Chains A and B, each alone.
Chain A
Amino acid sequence: MPKLTIEELRKGREEARSKIHLREGEFRGKVTVHMGTCGIAAGAREIVSAFLNQKENRKIIDILITTSGCAGLCSREPMATVELLDAPPIKYGNLTADKAIKIFENHIMGGQIVQEYAIGLGSERGG
């Protein structure tokens, strides 16, 4: 790497900051994918990947993708709960990677709940 100018240092800092965001950052929203045995069997791992890919492709850093245990509604797995700041949590069921992309696009980016996949209100701390 060549010697930096002040502008390059500043630009590099911005990029570096987005890389360590998980360690220090504030998040405006959280997606929890339910990863009980039932969820994993129904394909929850792919849902996690789909959300992570969306995050990467769109260069979004202030949305947290996380996992939790079984949500108790095993027949509707894979499921995920989307919680945005100052908005009620929304639970989605029977997810596929495509549905996850649409949720990311409409709900997380656009603030519009995807009614057709939603199965209800309520945070999920299941386990």
Chain B
Amino acid sequence: MATRRIELMICAGTGCVASGAFSVRETLEKEIEKQGLQNEVSVITTGCNGFCGQGPLLVVMPDKIFYGWLKAEDIATLVEEHLLKGRPVKKLMFVPPEKKEPIPLISEIPFFKKQVLVVLRNKGIIDPENIWDYIAREGYVALEKALTQMKPEAVIEEVTKAGLRGRGGAGFPAGTKWKLSRKQQNPTKYLIANCDEGDPGAYMDRSLLESDPHSLIEGMAIAAYGIGATKGFLYIRTEYPLAIKRMEIALSQARELGLLGENMLGSGFGFDIEIRQGSGAFVCGEASALIRSIEGEIPEPRQRPPRTAEVGLWGYPTVLNNVETLANVPVIINRGADWYSRIGTEKSKGTKIFSLVGKINNTGLIEVPMGITLREIVYDIGEGIPGNKKLKAVQTGGPSGGCLPSSMIDLPVDFDSLAEAGSMMGSGGMIIMDEDTCMVDVAKFFIQFTNDESCGKCTTCRDGSDALLEVLTRICKGEGKEGDVEFLEELSLAIGDASLCGLGTSLPNPVLSTLRYFKDEYLAHINEKRCPALVCKDLIKYYIEPKKCVGCQVCSKNCPTGAIKGELKHVHIIDETKCTKCGTCLQLCPPKVSAVVKVSGEQARNLKVLEKPIPVASARALS
């Protein structure tokens, strides 16, 4: 291969692929050829870059210039101006929200600036389908070190000393788990990487596998050496086809080079990994249910002890770790526990990957040091809330987690602080909610989710979530009654106490945390039949203010149910019996008119609705 002077790192994570990365790549290749640059410029397909909200995107190296929201029609300019003539194209660069000047360099973009890349150190830099790209960046150095210079016990000791805690949610120390499994005398032991990522809005593990599959393979191989496992499984959702494909390619490349299989690197140690696909049942993220699923049984959790590290897959000692946990291992072995444990807080070491989603300007995947505050994540990395709306809550931990109010914006993000505040780290979904979010509705959404996903083994989880859902639904419909709040609290605690697995014990968290921080919203729904965020359809009304309406007919012509009457230059009226509260009228009413409003509670009950449309001029005279 001839020496290239430019490499284009085009992101091909699932998000960018969905928004057209492959057609951008195709156009790029054509244009490069057209300009005769094919011997000077290469296009490298990388995994997830992280700044998903800007996709399709690419970074020009070595210039480090970031281009986002690319369209096929922009590519000719980009190739001619930047690649041929060396003039970076301003109009394709990232412009921060509410600003006008673009930021050319990826390293200067606030979204990337505060991140600390340990696990995602290779994202966007390597081609995930080329093992040598991974090897070039210190890949398999840690495996070599472990196999040739360290005893298995020393590997476990290093990981213990580093303070690595499970990234799947609960934060159990990885070293402790490994030690327990190491102690088992059984010659057959298994290691499972848990990639059953089911939290709504979370995609950390998927992106990791799509961008750097070998970091998991290397982490698993080292872990297996530590605990003495000779066989590993990657349990992954079948709905992650791209991650599975890249993982399969990576596995076969690693086998071919002898980095997996028998007698790895001539050390005598052998280990291999098999992919098992799950069908996307949330309960399969739970260790014992996941094991049942691999065995081909119905995935129901079982009582513990014995722990899976003692009695696991087909009865053999089995260690289950989350994908992100395992991907930390090569770095710990390579750089050492001392280096690693300098990142993070006293009890939460290292970094955490979050998928930052919801009402936030910069959407994407971020890796931050433990202990960073929510404020830094929301306002520095995320650059605030769109439309300058107010932050209402930050939801972490998915359906098992909780909603933290905006007053806790300075909370450090680590395992213990989040748990103390009534939420949890979880696997890393972080959903930002603005003032237009109804917290009762949010609690209902998550209970609906866990209610659907409950395996049904425990009465408290199965029927308890039914009962929670029924009450929450009633409250959102305006049929809440006195005692509902107390009932929700009591039942939540009972479900938490009496359920067997993590799904059941944590499912009440969204209810408990919203009750803890947003009780006034529950009370407004129950006592005043009012939804303060104007979300719950049964509690809101759309209304056209007669004094503001100019009779332009935009709303009436676009109303999907024909619920708005009024001829031209006559004040329009919404027929409540026909209105489905879709909000089209509010969206379409011209901003300078702003006659359509959403109201709830007493205000909604006391609306003075005109009997029939009257001329705009006479409406102005109304008192």
Interface residues of A (CB under 8 A from B): 1-6, 9, 12-13, 16-17, 19-20, 22-25, 27, 32, 35-36, 40, 45, 48-49, 52-53, 55-56, 64-69, 127
Contact = CB atoms under 8 A, between A and B. Distances in A.
Contacts of B113: none
Contact of A23 (B9, B139, B257): B9
Contacts of B148: 6
Contacts of B84: 35, 40, 67
Nearest to A51: B5
A123 B377 CA distance: 39
Contact of A12 (B7, B63, B135, B263): B135
A27 B1 CA distance: 20
Interface string B253-294: 000111101010110000000000000000000000000000
A101 B616 CA distance: 81
A16 B5 contact: no
Nearest to A13: B135
A55 B3 contact: yes
Contacts of A56: 2-3
Nearest to B36: A45
Nearest to A59: B3
Given A5-B266, A69-B86, A23 B61 contact: yes
A4 B258 contact: yes
B51 interface: no
Interface stretch (B125-133, B163-171, B356-364, B443-451): B125-133
B603 interface: no
Contact of A36 (B2, B44, B85, B133): B85
Contacts of B141: 13
Interface string B112-136: 0000000000000110000011011
Nearest to A10: B144
A68 B87 contact: yes
Given A9-B135, A16-B136, A22-B62, A32 B86 contact: yes
Given A22-B6, A52-B40, A68 B86 contact: yes
Given A6-B148, A68-B87, A22 B259 contact: no
B39 interface: yes
Contact of B4 (A13, A22, A25): A22
Contact of A20 (B36, B40, B137, B256): B137
Given A16-B136, A25-B62, A66-B5, A1 B86 contact: no
Contacts of B44: 23
A24 to B, nearest CB: 6
B265 A9 contact: yes
Contacts of B235: none
Interface string B40-52: 1000100000000
Nearest to B61: A23
A12 B3 CA distance: 18
B140 interface: yes
B345 to A, nearest CB: 29
A2 B263 CA distance: 13
Given A5-B266, A48-B40, A20 B257 contact: no
Contacts of A16: 132-133, 135-136
A107 to B, nearest CB: 18
Contact of B39 (A17, A25, A49): A49
Nearest to B82: A67
A108 B136 CA distance: 26
B118 to A, nearest CB: 16
A35 B86 contact: yes
Contact of B62 (A52, A64, A67): A64
